[in-house]
Structure formats: C-alpha cells, structure tokens
C-alpha cells in the first residue's frame, strides 16, 4: 500500500514536469494535434466516399462502420497518451545505452518508462473517437443500458492494455536485437486491419488479427457488441482475458530482457 502511494506521488511529480514542458510549446502541440485530427478525418471521408457507391457493406451500414472506426480510436488513444515512451526502447534506448538511467533508480522499471512521458498527440485520437461516439449515440445506433455502459469502460481499458502489451512485447525484443522498432511498427500497423469488419478478410489474416496480434479484440469485435443485441457479452470477457494474458507475457519478456541488458559502455 505504501509503495503504491509512493508510486502515485512520483507519477504526479514526473507528469507535472512533463506538462510544464508542453506548455512551453503550445504551437507545436496544436500543430501535432491538428495533423493527427486531419489524418483521422481522411479515414472517415474515405468511408463516406465508399458508401456513396453501396448502401451497405456485408450487412454493415455507414453509421455502424463509423462507430467501429471511432470506437477503435479510444483504447488506441489511451495507450498512446500514457505509454508512448515504449517506442523509444524499441528504437534507440537499448542501442544508445540510455536505458541505463532507469536501471540506476530504485523503482519499478516499467513504471519509470511509462511515467517519463505523456503523449499529447494522442488527444487527437481521443477527440476523434469521442466525437464519433457522440454522433453514433445521437443517431441511436448504439445500445445504451446499464450492462453495456459498464462493459464499455471495461472494454476500452482492456483494449488499451492489449495495445500496451503488444507494444511492450515487441519493444522488449530490442534487449536481444538492439533495435526492434521495425518489428514493433509492423505489429502496430496491423491495427488498421481491425478498423473494418474482419469478415471481409481472408481466413489467415482474420486468424492473425484475432488470435496472434489481437487487434480485432480492441476494435471490431467489442464494437459489434455495442451495435448488435445478439452479440453476447462474452466477447468482452474474452477481450479481458486476452488483455491480462498478453500483458503478463509481455511483462515477463520485458523483465527477462532487462536482466540481459548491458549498457553500450564508454
């Protein structure tokens, strides 16, 4: 309990320092946000143009696909906001020896990594996700009752944890190969597949994004639970199990990796 409190306090201190840095460069921050916002907007415009040609896509309407798209952004945004520093392990910290400074402090390593940085760009994803969610609620295509509302939050949290787990796993590979950025990026970009109903893909692709790098459980599958009454809440249960299992695996690999870590001495 006391350690927990100590970590909370430390997190606050570290994040406050970081926020001060952000406030110094407000323009940069706004530009980054704008760029992200724009990219997301294009994705929606694309869907809109596609649906000018067809009334529905394998039984899904434009409104439903927009909800799936928006829903997918929220766990992605939460993970992006909180754990963006993991990317640096994959790209350069292990190679350059910067990871040393975490090893020197008497604190949990994973905590230090994620506490060092908040990524404000992520607000772009959260904003887009939020807006699309509100639009979908107004259209009345989303099921709103007690169970669904509770499970919505559970699902978003579990989804964010799946993202973190995938990032942590691939970033930890850098303890063996020095730079694992390309692997991490490959895995991360697979999330794009899950923005659309996975039924449209070949079986092999569907299998990979459902069970191996399970982005389908972050986006399409839980989203369908909120859209269609006949989808069982079990899907959120599986999502949670996936999240816990994946994160445990990733954390173990990370811990073993840090034991193998040797500094790039000088």
Q: Which residues bind another protein (CB under 8 A)?
A: 25, 27-28, 30-36, 38-39, 41-42, 45-46, 49-50, 52-58, 179, 181-183, 185-186, 189-190, 192-193, 196, 200-202, 205
Nearest approach in angstroms of CB 147 to another protein is 31
Q: Are 238 and 217 in contact (CB under 8 A)?
A: yes
Query: Quick one: how far is CA 64 from the chain centroid?
Result: 21
Distance CA 214, CA 243 (A): 9
Q: Are 155 and 178 in contact (CB under 8 A)?
A: no
Nearest approach in angstroms of CB 201 to another protein is 5
Residue whose CB is less far from another protein, 189 or 262: 189
Residues whose CB is less than 8 angstroms from the CB of residue 172 and which lie 6 or more positions away in sequence, other chains included: 89, 180, 250, 253, 254, 257
Nearest approach in angstroms of CB 39 to another protein is 4
Distance CA 134, CA 91 (A): 37
Residue whose CB is less far from another protein, 132 or 236: 132
Residue whose CB is less far from another protein, 8 or 200: 200
Nearest approach in angstroms of CB 71 to another protein is 18
Helix (H) or strand (E) holding 241: helix 234-260
Q: Measuring CA to CA, which residue among 83, 56, 95, 228 is closest to residue 168?
A: 83
Residue whose CB is less far from another protein, 121 or 239: 121
Distance CA 52, CA 191 (A): 25
Nearest approach in angstroms of CB 160 to another protein is 22
Residue whose CB is less far from another protein, 1 or 42: 42
């Amino acid at each position: 309990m006391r350690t927990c409190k100590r970590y909370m306090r430390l997190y606050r201190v570290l994040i406050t320092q970081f926020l001060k840095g952000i406030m110094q460069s407000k323009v940069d921050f706004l530009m980054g946000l704008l760029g992200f916002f724009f990219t997301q907007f294009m994705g929606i415009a694309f869907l809109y143009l596609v649906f000018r040609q067809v009334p529905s896509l394998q039984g899904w309407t434009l409104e439903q696909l927009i909800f799936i798209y928006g829903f997918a952004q929220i766990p992605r945004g939460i993970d992006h906001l909180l754990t963006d520093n993991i990317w640096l392990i994959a790209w350069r910290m292990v190679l350059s020896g910067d990871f040393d400074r975490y090893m020197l402090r008497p604190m949990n390593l994973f905590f230090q990594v994620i506490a060092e940085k908040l990524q404000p760009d992520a607000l772009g994803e959260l904003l887009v996700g939020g807006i699309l969610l509100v639009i979908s609620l107004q259209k009345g295509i989303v099921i709103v009752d007690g169970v669904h509302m509770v499970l919505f939050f559970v699902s978003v949290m579990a989804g964010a944890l799946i993202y973190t787990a995938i990032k942590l796993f691939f970033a930890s590979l850098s303890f063996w190969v020095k730079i694992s950025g390309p692997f991490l990026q490959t895995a991360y970009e697979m999330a794009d597949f899950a923005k659309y109903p996975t039924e449209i893909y070949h079986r092999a692709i569907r299998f990979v994004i459902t069970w191996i790098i399970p982005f389908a459980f972050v986006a399409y599958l839980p989203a369908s639970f909120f859209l269609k009454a006949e989808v069982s809440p079990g899907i959120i249960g599986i999502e949670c199990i996936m999240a816990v299992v994946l994160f445990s695996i990733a954390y173990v690999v990370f811990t073993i990796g840090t034991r193998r870590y040797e500094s790039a001495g000088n």
